[in-house]
Copies of this chain bind each other. A is one copy, B any other.
Amino acid sequence: MVEKDIAAELKKRGFKLTHQRKAIISVLGNCREHLKPADIHQRLHKKYPGIGLVTVYRTLELLQENGLLCEVHIGDSCRSYLKRQRPGEHHHHLVCRDCGRVADFTDCELDRLKQRLERETGYRINRHLLEFMGLCPQCQIREV
């Protein structure tokens, strides 16, 4: 999904395409790291000063509710977001602990484990959270 797709998706669902929303989408779209609300607000300031932090929060909520972005849990904060690459697709993240860059992967190979756990514990499982953290190729070089 590129910026245009996200914009189109919002429009399709009857939401207005404001300057602010476009700007926020653009920040997320040009970024491979996960960002906290305050990070996004700060980045906005350079190009589009005057957009309020409140609007950032509201737009993130809107995008989130419409499945247009995803959260990253591992690492520092708990509210860190990322543009969703493909709408609706089940996927997971590989997060760089230095620069925050995120790579996606889709096949999590957890079916067998899930079934074993259901059998052993009696839980009925319907959701899982899986993220890997490490160093991306660039940060490995930088680290030496």
| B-contacting 9-mer, from A31-39, A54-62, A117-125 | A117-125
Q: How distant is the Cα of A66 from the Cα of B74 in the complex, in angstroms?
A: 20
**B124/A128 in contact, CB under 8 A:** no
A53 within 8 A of B: no
A144 within 8 A of B: no
**Nearest neighbor of A122 in chain B, beta-carbon distance:** B137
**A130/B127 in contact, CB under 8 A:** no
Q: Which residues of B contact A123 (CB under 8 A)?
A: 94, 96, 103, 132, 134-137
**A135/B124 in contact, CB under 8 A:** yes
**B133/A130 in contact, CB under 8 A:** no
A140 within 8 A of B: yes
